[in-house]
Copies of this chain bind each other. A is one copy, B any other.
Amino acid sequence: MPIGLPKTPRLEAVPGVKLGTANAGISKAERDDVALITCPASTAVAAVFTNNLFSAAPVTVAKQHLSKCSPQALFINSGNANAATGVRGIQDAESVCERVAQELGLEKSAVLPFSTGVIGSRLPLSSMLKAIPECMHALSVDNWLAAAKAMMTTDTVPKGVSRRFTLGNANITLTGIAKGSGMIRPQMATMLGFVAMDAAVTRPVLQLLLRRAVSKSFNRITIDGDTSTNDACVLLATGQAEMEAIQHESDQRFAELERNIEQLFVELAQSLVRDGEGATKFVTIEVVGAATDGDAQGLAFAVAHSPLVKTALFASDPNWGRILAVIGRAGLDRLEINKVDVYVNDVAFVVNGERADTYTEESGQAVMAPEEIHLKICLGSGNARGLVWTTDLSYDYVKINAEYRS
């Protein structure tokens, strides 16, 4: 069960953005598994992709198309990642784009493909092509939830967030959806995330906003440390709100826009962790007092990836020795072990590298019991901070991933 997430997010329409879904029979489940998202020609589009060198065919094709023209359609499928499929995988992704472009009267390169699911199988092309007209007929500004559902693989709930805010005199709607709950350690983006708003922003500014928001959100989450081959995150700005376009970072509306985008991205990224495979805990790992940013963020990820810390979290076991063991082996540039403090919420577990005098097993157990836990490591070696959101490691993580293809 996801931790602190609604079963159904309430998602606001973004003027100009339409979505339609269909069942192409890719996954065994009887549900829609392809989604089409369209936006007007005025739309600025920014995107970031996985840095996994075994990137999937749709990632390669989407990058090529982005370099040619500004996209007006995104086509997404779940159930099959179209990764490690070689030249034929590229051709399949191009074929999908071509058919979507024909139906919509666009250039092929105005369509971006996205896939998520099992790696190493060819797309079921004919059934996917057949589903495209159905997606088109379903196009509606009110289909954000349906699109979020069509992207799901091992996700247990559709994930999405909306915000409304003003920029100057303009009322802006910002809505995003995302999927992913395993093979999650994004390094540029999440598995799949699509965010749109009606604000008017030039493409370079939009790309800056996306890059910064991703670095503070999707690039700070990890479920199992495995970076996907298909990570992609797209931010659309349709420009249909009544405002002059923001053309520069120095525009006084920029900060307000950035704050709202960042908050939505953080909420969306956290929602992936809250629905992480087998997750019973939502854990914030904060590192302060590190000598360098690399030490801070590196240690936060090392703790988040430790199977021993993760199983202790699953057991609600205040086994803080395992945290110290990770700190000691994390390869930090600077570590003075007698300056290390470890807190969970407001309970000091470790002070100056040893068990805190005030610590009791009872206080430790009590603070480890809730579903949401804040673990703070103070290194006392500098001023750098790191932050990661993660999950525990449960029987169900093993079960889900042992049975994924069966």
Binding site for B on A (CB under 8 A): 51-55, 81, 83-86, 118-120, 182-183, 185, 187, 224-229, 305-308, 311-312, 314-315, 317, 319-322, 324-329, 332, 335, 337-338, 350, 352-355, 393-395, 397-399, 401-406
Contact = CB atoms under 8 A, between A and B. Distances in A.
A292 to B, nearest CB: 16
Contacts of A322: 119, 183, 226
Given A225-B306, A226-B325, 12 more contacts: A52-B329, A54-B327, A81-B321, A84-B324, A84-B353, A118-B319, A225-B307, A226-B329, A308-B401, A312-B402, A319-B405, A393-B398
A314 B404 CA distance: 12
A119 B329 CA distance: 15
Q: Which 7 pairs between the two chains have the least Cβ-Cβ distance? A: A119-B321, A54-B328, A315-B402, A311-B401, A227-B329, A52-B328, A86-B354
A367 to B, nearest CB: 16
A120 B52 contact: no
B321 A118 contact: yes
A402 B311 contact: yes
Q: How many chain copies does the complex carry?
A: 2
A353 B182 CA distance: 23
Given A321-B84, A329-B52, A353-B84, A224 B307 contact: yes
Contacts of A332: 53
A118 to B, nearest CB: 7
A326 to B, nearest CB: 7
A307 B226 CA distance: 8
Contacts of A118: 319, 321
Contacts of A86: 338, 352-354
Contact of A325 (B54, B305, B319, B353): B54
A328 B398 contact: no
Which residue of A81, A226, A337, A395 has the most chain B CB atoms within 10 A of its CB atom?
Answer: A226
B393 A395 contact: no
Contacts of A353: 54, 84, 86
B81 A226 contact: no
27 contacts: A52-B325, A53-B332, A53-B337, A81-B321, A83-B321, A83-B324, A83-B325, A86-B338, A119-B322, A119-B324, A119-B325, A183-B325, A224-B308, A225-B305, A226-B308, A226-B326, A226-B329, A307-B307, A311-B398, A311-B402, A312-B404, A314-B398, A315-B402, A317-B405, A317-B406, A393-B398, A398-B398
